[in-house]
């Protein structure tokens, strides 16, 4: 049985004060959840979150990572640096990185590789634009995004990675994919991996992301190939986020 993982992607939100409050409120409400839970704050708050989460079962990670380890790469943060602060995860290839900052499949694959090399778990985001869904090419798009990683790192690398299927039209729009729409793409992803390595396909966690809320999380997480969620807006309110975590 794959475990459920619920990860909060805080994006560019928060202040030192609100981060402290949010972490305290999530910690207080965690109880004995079945799901694994993690938060991904903006880089600068990671040391603070690391302190606040000492000894807690709540994991944390970064929203992005450099494809480079060290050197003249102004503004970048490397995976070994994230490791220094106890990060367990790094999100790579989020659609906002892809569309707003022009990050392509190969670049994302290199970030994936750098993350694994430093001993962190990459959360690899894939997903189609609305026009791509309307053109009926969702599977081709997701396949292309996965292939870049498989070609660079081999399919076995996915065994200790997390994939997040995030249809771009569902992100921050309030328009969630229906459980069946999401399940169909998740099953496609798992099937594609299974064709290369059945054991890896069985093991890899595939999260759904895109307007997940307390009110729709349970029906999404109940689907056979949905192993949790990557949560944006709803991860910024402790009670809502905890409701999602309890659905796992």
Residue entry with tokens 């069985």: 202
Beta strands 205-209; 89-92: pairing state = unpaired
CB of 55 to ligand 13P, least distance (A): 27
166: annotated active-site residue: yes
Beta strands 121-126; 5-9: pairing state = unpaired
CB of 127 to ligand 13P, least distance (A): 9
Burial degree of 219 (CB within 10 A; 0-12, 13-18, 19+): middle
134: annotated active-site residue: no
CB of 97 to ligand 13P, least distance (A): 10
For ligand 13P, the closer of residues 41 and 200 by Cβ is 41
- Say how far residue 206 (Cα) sits from the centre of its chain: 9
For ligand 13P, the closer of residues 23 and 230 by Cβ is 230
Distance in angstroms (rounded) separating the CA atoms of residues 66 and 84: 15
CB of 166 to ligand 13P, least distance (A): 5
Q: Per the residue annotation, which of 96, 128, 153, 166 is the catalytic one?
A: 166
Residues that bind ligand 13P (CB under 6 A): 9, 94, 166, 171-172, 209-212, 230-234
Distance in angstroms (rounded) separating the CA atoms of residues 55 and 201: 32
Q: What's the Cα-to-Cα distance from 88 to each of 5, 129, 135, 160, 223, rounded to whole Å? A: 13, 29, 37, 12, 26
For ligand 13P, the closer of residues 123 and 148 by Cβ is 123
For ligand 13P, the closer of residues 113 and 229 by Cβ is 229
Q: Per the residue annotation, which of 94, 103, 153, 186 is the catalytic one?
A: 94
CB of 92 to ligand 13P, least distance (A): 12
Distance in angstroms (rounded) separating the CA atoms of residues 141 and 101: 18
For ligand 13P, the closer of residues 82 and 230 by Cβ is 230
Beta strands 162-165; 5-9: pairing state = unpaired
Among 228, 191, 200, CA closest to 212: 228
Q: Confirm if 106 and 70 have CB atoms less than 8 A apart.
A: no
The residue at minimum Cβ distance from ligand 13P is 232
Active site positions, annotated: 94, 166
């Amino acid at each position: 049985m794959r475990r459920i993982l619920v990860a909060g992607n805080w994006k560019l939100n928060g202040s030192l004060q609100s981060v402290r409050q949010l972490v305290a409120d999530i910690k207080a409400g965690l109880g004995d959840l079945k799901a694994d839970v993690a938060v991904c704050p903006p880089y600068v708050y990671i040391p603070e979150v690391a302190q606040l989460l000492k000894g807690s079962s709540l994991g944390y990670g970064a929203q992005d990572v450099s494809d480079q380890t060290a050197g003249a790469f102004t503004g970048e943060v490397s995976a070994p640096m994230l490791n220094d602060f106890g990060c367990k995860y790094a999100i790579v290839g989020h659609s906002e990185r892809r569309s707003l900052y022009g990050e392509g499949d190969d670049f994302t694959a290199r970030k994936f590789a750098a993350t694994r090399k430093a001993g962190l778990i990459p959360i690899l985001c894939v997903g189609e634009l609305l026009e791509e869904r309307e053109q009926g090419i969702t599977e081709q798009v997701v396949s292309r995004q996965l292939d870049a990683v498989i070609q660079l790192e081999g399919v076995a690398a996915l065994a200790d990675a997390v994939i997040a299927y995030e249809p771009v039209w569902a992100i921050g729009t309030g328009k969630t994919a229906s459980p069946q729409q999401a399940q169909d793409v998740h099953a496609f992803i798992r099937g594609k991996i299974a064709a290369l390595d059945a054991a890896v396909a069985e093991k890899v966690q595939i999260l759904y992301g895109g307007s997940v809320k307390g009110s729709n999380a349970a029906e999404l997480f109940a689907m056979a190939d949905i192993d949790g969620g990557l949560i944006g807006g709803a991860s910024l309110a402790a009670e809502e986020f905890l409701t999602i975590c309890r659905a796992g």
